[in-house]
């Protein structure tokens, strides 16, 4: 069996409101849907995000025509040039590996999780992922602590999630602390995570950690940038720490371990160069007593159904996975897969059981959201960072 053609289609799918984070505003999901066809009539699906330029994805697709879809290491060599620390190459590879594993699973009649070690679970708990939101389409903005608590109540009711993740970093650090304490006050029995995406200084991080001690956080995620800063917070903050920023790929592992940088690593299938690499990384983390969770959004924005199915297939096969996995999937208004968006049941997403990734493309939806993407101008692909961007926040002392 050989790859006979590859299509890469940019799509833009709406989310229910523009969400704020320390890098700016996400207004929609801009993704690239990859279709890899074989000479035996099997088609595999992959998904990439805005961090992969369409021209590069198209060129990569052209380059792998003729390849055996089981030859993923050959694929890695072609797409990364053999480099071990090339994030762009890793992300690109991950999108195509997804499609090749989909082909392999469909060919064997098994879900992709069976290619990664087999299913240890049939569903995966996810987070109620809460952001500050801009007003949109008649919906009011979500800015204050009261707004954010009300928005969390809505998300928790809609999904059944018992883990809440608050995306901090889009307002002053003291406001983030106040929001977190308000969330804990309202949700006494939920797990609670806070992630300011490394926009705080070390001093701010330590001061915030002291004020958050009573919030009983599951973890404080990337308060400060880099291995040194995170190791200081881990040693001195008194709260478990997590990262998807200072330890994201194999070459960073030795220094992060030596510095005891974090307690938990959020694996990202894109940063780590695919699902198989992520599964191996999880094993390595266990050797150093690093907990592992699953990250959402590594390829840019967050995942649609194809990317989410890939993360679910991996999650099914990870013995040491800490629930709940990160997911912003509850924010999407629609999807390009048959049957519409995957549905939450008791706070969890079900592992698709059909061969391959377990999802199929809806041709009409793909065409519709491809036309939306084509009409979009580069000016509104990414919102302005008018609320502070990446400037570190220093404590007021």
- Enumerate binding residues for Mg ion (CB under 5 A): 195, 221, 244
Q: Is 295 a catalytic residue?
A: yes
Alpha carbon distance 278, 283 (integer Å): 9
Name the residue among 351, 365, 389 with its Cα closest to residue 31. 365
Alpha carbon distance 267, 244 (integer Å): 7
- For residues 68 and 123, the answer to whether their CB atoms sit within 8 Å is no
To Mg ion, the closest distance from the beta carbon of 270 in angstroms equals 13
**Which 3 state secondary structure label does DSSP give 10?**
strand
Question: Based on CB atoms, which residue is closest to Mg ion, 75 or 212?
Answer: 212
Strands 43-49 and 24-38: antiparallel
Question: Based on CB atoms, which residue is closest to Mg ion, 101 or 325?
Answer: 325
DSSP-assigned beta bridge partners for residue 1: none
To Mg ion, the closest distance from the beta carbon of 69 in angstroms equals 32
Q: Is 167 a catalytic residue?
A: yes
To Mg ion, the closest distance from the beta carbon of 266 in angstroms equals 6
Question: Based on CB atoms, which residue is closest to Mg ion, 152 or 197?
Answer: 197
Question: Based on CB atoms, which residue is closest to Mg ion, 266 or 351?
Answer: 266
Q: Two tokens at 86?
A: 């090339």
H-only helix segments in the chain: 54-63, 72-80, 87-108, 145-159, 173-186, 202-212, 226-236, 253-258, 275-287, 305-316, 363-375
Of 21, 295, 331, 365, the active-site residue reads: 295
To Mg ion, the closest distance from the beta carbon of 221 in angstroms equals 5
Question: Based on CB atoms, which residue is closest to Mg ion, 9 or 22?
Answer: 22
**Which 3 state secondary structure label does DSSP give 221?**
strand
**Residue tagged 């699902």 (tokens):** 275
Of 21, 106, 165, 167, the active-site residue reads: 167
DSSP conformation class of 391: P
To Mg ion, the closest distance from the beta carbon of 157 in angstroms equals 24
Q: Which residues participate in catalysis according to the annotation?
A: 167, 295
């Amino acid at each position: 069996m050989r790859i006979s053609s590859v299509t890469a289609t940019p799509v833009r799918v709406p989310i229910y409101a523009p969400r704020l984070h320390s890098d700016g505003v996400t207004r929609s999901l801009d993704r690239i849907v990859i279709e890899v066809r074989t000479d035996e009539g099997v088609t595999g699906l992959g998904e990439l995000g805005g961090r992969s330029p369409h021209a590069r994805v198209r060129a990569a697709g052209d380059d792998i025509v003729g390849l055996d879809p089981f030859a993923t290491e050959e694929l890695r060599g072609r797409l990364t040039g053999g480099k071990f620390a090339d994030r762009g190459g890793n992300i690109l590879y991950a999108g195509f590996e997804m499609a090749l594993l989909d082909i392999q699973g469909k060919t064997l009649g098994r879900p992709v999780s069976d290619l990664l070690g087999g299913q240890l679970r049939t569903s995966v708990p996810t987070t109620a992922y809460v952001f500050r939101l801009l007003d949109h389409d008649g919906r009011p903005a979500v800015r204050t602590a009261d707004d954010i608590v009300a928005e969390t109540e809505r998300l928790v009711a809609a999904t059944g999630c018992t883990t809440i993740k608050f995306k901090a970093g889009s307002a002053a650090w003291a406001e983030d602390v106040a929001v977190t304490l308000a969330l804990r006050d309202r949700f006494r029995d939920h797990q609670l995570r806070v992630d300011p995406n490394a926009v705080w200084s070390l001093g701010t991080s330590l001061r915030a950690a002291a004020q958050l001690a009573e919030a009983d956080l599951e973890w404080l995620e990337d308060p400060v940038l880099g291995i040194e800063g995170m190791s200081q917070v881990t040693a001195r903050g008194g709260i478990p720490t997590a990262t998807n920023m200072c330890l994201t790929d194999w070459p960073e592992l030795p220094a992060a371990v030596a510095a005891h940088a974090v307690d938990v690593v959020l694996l990202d299938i894109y940063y780590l160069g695919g699902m198989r690499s992520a599964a191996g990384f999880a094993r390595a983390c266990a050797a150093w007593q690093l907990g592992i969770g699953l990250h959402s959004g590594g390829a840019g924005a967050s995942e649609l159904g194809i990317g989410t199915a890939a993360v679910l297939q991996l999650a099914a096969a990870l013995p040491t996975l800490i629930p709940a996995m990160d997911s912003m999937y509850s924010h999407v208004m629609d999807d390009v897969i048959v049957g519409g968006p995957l549905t939450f049941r008791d706070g969890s997403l079900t592992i698709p059981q059909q061969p391959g990734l377990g999802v199929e493309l809806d041709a009409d939806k793909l065409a519709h959201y491809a036309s939306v993407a084509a009409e979009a101008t580069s000016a509104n692909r990414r919102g302005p960072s008018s609320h502070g961007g990446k400037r570190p926040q220093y404590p007021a002392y």
